[in-house]
Amino acid sequence: MSRAERLLDLIQVLRRHRAPVSGRQLAQETGVSLRTLYRDIASLQAQGAPVEGEPGLGYVLRPGFTLPPLMFREEEIEALVLGMRWVAGRADTPLAAAASDALAKIAAILPSDLRERLDASALMVGPADTAPDGIDLSALRGAIRAQHKVAIRYRDAGGAGSERVIWPFALGFFERVRVAVAWCEARDDFRHFRTDRMEALTLTGERYPRSRHALLRDWRAVQGIAPAP
DSSP string, 29-93: HHT--HHHHHHHHHHHHHTT--EEEETTTEEEEPTT----GGG--HHHHHHHHHHHHHHHHHS-H
- Which is more confident, 142 or 55? 142
Summarize the confidence of residues 106-128 as an average pLDDT: 76
Q: Could you give the CA distance from residue 42 to residue 21 in angstroms, rounded to a whole number? A: 16
> What pairs with residue 154 in β-bridges?
162, 198
| pLDDT confidence bin for 226, thresholds 50/70/90 | confident
Query: What's residue 105's pLDDT?
Result: 80
Summarize the confidence of residues 18-44 as an average pLDDT: 91
Query: What's residue 67's pLDDT?
Result: 57
Q: Read off the pLDDT of residues 154-210 as tens digits, 9 standing for 90 and up.
A: 999 899 999 999 999 999 988 888 999 999 999 999 999 999 999 999 999 999 999
Summarize the confidence of residues 213-220 as an average pLDDT: 94
Q: Read off the pLDDT of residues 42-98 as tens digits, 9 standing for 90 and up.
A: 998 888 888 999 888 899 988 766 655 455 677 888 888 889 888 888 888 899 888
On whether the 3-61 domain is CATH 1.10.10.10, my answer is: yes
Query: What's residue 68's pLDDT?
Result: 54
Asked whether residue 151 carries a pLDDT value surpassing 80, the answer given is yes
CB environment 138-162: b (16+ within 10 A), e (fewer): eebbebbeebbbbebbbeeeeeeee
Q: Could you give the CA distance from residue 27 to residue 43 in angstroms, rounded to a whole number? A: 15
Query: What's residue 101's pLDDT?
Result: 86
CATH number belonging to domain 137-223:
2.30.30
Q: Could you give the CA distance from residue 29 to residue 13 in angstroms, rounded to a whole number? A: 7
Asked whether residue 1 carries a pLDDT value surpassing 70, the answer given is no
Summarize the confidence of residues 143-150 as an average pLDDT: 96
Asked whether residue 112 carries a pLDDT value surpassing 80, the answer given is no
Q: Where exactly are the structural domains of the chain?
A: 3-61, 70-119, 137-223
Q: Read off the pLDDT of residues 12-21 as tens digits, 9 standing for 90 and up.
A: 889 888 889 9
Q: Which of 169, 165, 166 is nearest to 144 (CA)?
A: 169
